[in-house]
Amino acid sequence: MRLFVAVFPPLKIREETLRTARSLLPGDRIRWSRPENIHMTLKFLGDVGEEKLDEVRAALENACADHTPFDARTAGLGAFPSARRARILWAGVGEGSEQLRSLAAHVDAALSRSGFERETRSYEPHLTLGRVRGRPMKLNLPEEAGGDPFEVSRVELVESMLTGTGPIYRTIESFFLGVEKS
Beta strands in 19-118 (DSSP E): 30-32, 40-47, 70-72, 74-80, 88-93
The single residue of 14, 39, 43, 106 carrying the catalytic annotation is: 39
Residue 166 gets which letter from DSSP? -
- Known active-site residue 126: yes
Measured distance CA(21)–CA(25) in Å, rounded: 6
Give burial (CB, 10 Å; 0-12/13-18/19+) of 177: buried
Residue 39 appears among annotated catalytic residues? yes
Sheet with 126-132, strands from edge to edge, namely: 30-32, 126-132, 88-93, 74-80
Set 14, 67, 106, 126: catalytic member: 126
| Residues assigned a catalytic role | 39, 126
